[in-house]
Amino acid sequence: MTELTNLQNELLAAVAGAGDEAAIEAVRVAALGKKGSVSELLKTLGAMTPEERQTRGAAINALKAEVTDAIAARKAELKDAAIAARLKAETLDVSLPVRSSPAERGRIHPISQIVDEITAIFADMGFSIAEGPDIETDYYNFTALNFPEGHPAREMHDTFFFNPDEKGERKVLRTHTSPVQVRTMEAQKPPIRIVIPGKTYRQDSDATHSPMFHQVEGLVIDRKAHVGNLRWVLEEFCKAFFEVPSVTMRFRPSFFPFTEPSFEVDIQCDRSGGQVKFGEGNDWMEILGCGMVHPNVLKAGGLDPDEFQGFAWGMGLDRIAMLKYGMPDLRDFFNADVRWMNHYGFRPLDMPTLFGGLSA
């Protein structure tokens, strides 16, 4: 039996000494291949007596098992070592910078973002979004909105005019988003609940006035909407928009040709500390104008003012953007300075929703 022991020792030594996958394969062939040393021994089993088989046969099989296992173990070992060596060789400097995601670099202008915020809020109250042209007729911009010809109220709007056409009519750049009120009434029967964001133009330029700016207007027409409802809509809007639990508003009687009664609305705020905070403080800040739609405007929209009624409000989009997000100068909105856009802009995937919060 020593011969078997010797062979086993010899083979195990060869297994241990195999340095790579080829060497171990050679050992396997030499031992377990067709003509391998162990295979040759197994062939002798057939000529043995049953007794011999019981002892020597078992020993040969044990040898085979032992060697097979050793080879498999060594093979696995060598494979792991090879992988480890390859991985080591493949190591890269992961501290090298990579490109940022374009979706992280891009920016949405605050105006677009705010329009989305407003859309999210008013959609929840059953409003839809209406739009109209920037270049308006005098009729829609003034006359249909109850601005009498030559009335000083027209002067309050520093209007941009186009040259008169052959009929002597001159178009204007709309001075407010209100023309869309009448355009909507003409196109749609009540009930009407719309919000109108858009560009507006007046001949004015300083830190808080720009010849081009943005307004958002709201209009509700049905058979019973009144000032109390108007108040509720505006309070709910301001709470949702400024993302504060409560706001205090002050309605002051005022004058706009297209509403009667008319109001200016102040919102209570705290201006100490250089920032404006809503829902607290002792100051009032004028934030919007509103009122019940003037009977003449309803008539211009083809509605009977004794049957239908409603309210409208309008405010500066840029202004509420500045109030909420802190841009100091309106003129920067239109300068397309990449540093401003990067700083005050919004990431493209930050989409304002009510379920996810308006702002992150």
216 binds another protein (CB under 8 A): no
Nearer to another protein, 14 or 233 (CB): 233
Find the part of the chain contacting another protein (CB under 8 A) among 57-65, 79-87, 226-234, 267-275.
226-234
User: Quick one: residue 126, left, alpha or beta (phi over 0 = left, psi -120 to 50 = alpha)?
Assistant: left
CA distance 115 to 351: 11
Nearer to another protein, 86 or 339 (CB): 339
ω into 261 cis (within 30 of 0): yes
Interface map 120-159 toward another protein (x if CB under 8 A): ---xxxxxxx-xxxxx-------------xxxxx-xx---
Residues 6 to 65 in contact with another protein, rule: CB under 8 A: none
- For another protein, which residue of 3, 165, 206, 307 counts as binding (CB under 8 A)? 165
CB of 242 to another protein, least distance (A): 16
Residues contacting residue 95 through CB under 8 Å, at least 6 positions apart? none
212 binds another protein (CB under 8 A): yes
DSSP for 189-248 reads PSPEEEEEEEEEE-S--BTTB-SEEEEEEEEEEESS--HHHHHHHHHHHHHHHHT-S---
Pairing of strands 259-270, 277-278: antiparallel
- For another protein, which residue of 100, 273, 328, 360 counts as binding (CB under 8 A)? 100
- For another protein, which residue of 97, 245, 273, 328 counts as binding (CB under 8 A)? 97
Nearer to another protein, 53 or 299 (CB): 299
CB of 228 to another protein, least distance (A): 3
**Contact (CB, 8 A) for 106 and 48:** no
- For another protein, which residue of 6, 112, 275, 353 counts as binding (CB under 8 A)? 112
335 binds another protein (CB under 8 A): yes
- The annotation status of 149 as a binding-site residue, yes or no, is no
Residue 279's alpha-carbon distances to 1, 274, 282, in angstroms, are 98, 16, 10
CB of 207 to another protein, least distance (A): 15
> Nearest-CA neighbor of 259 among 295, 211, 210?
295
Nearer to another protein, 37 or 248 (CB): 248
Element (H, E) at 105: helix 102-105
**What would the two tokens of residue 82 be?**
């090879």
Interface map 295-334 toward another protein (x if CB under 8 A): x---------x---x-----------------------xx
Residue 62's alpha-carbon distances to 2, 4, 45, 55, 57, in angstroms, are 14, 10, 13, 11, 9
349 binds another protein (CB under 8 A): yes
> Nearest-CA neighbor of 121 among 218, 257, 229?
218
Pairing of strands 192-201, 128-129: parallel
- For another protein, which residue of 163, 168, 206, 282 counts as binding (CB under 8 A)? 163
Residues 243 to 302 in contact with another protein, rule: CB under 8 A: 250-255, 260-264, 292, 294-295
CB of 229 to another protein, least distance (A): 5
CA distance 120 to 102: 26
CB of 107 to another protein, least distance (A): 4
- For another protein, which residue of 11, 71, 114, 233 counts as binding (CB under 8 A)? 233
Nearer to another protein, 28 or 174 (CB): 174
Report the binding-site residues.
260
Q: Residues marked as binding for Mg(2+)?
A: 260
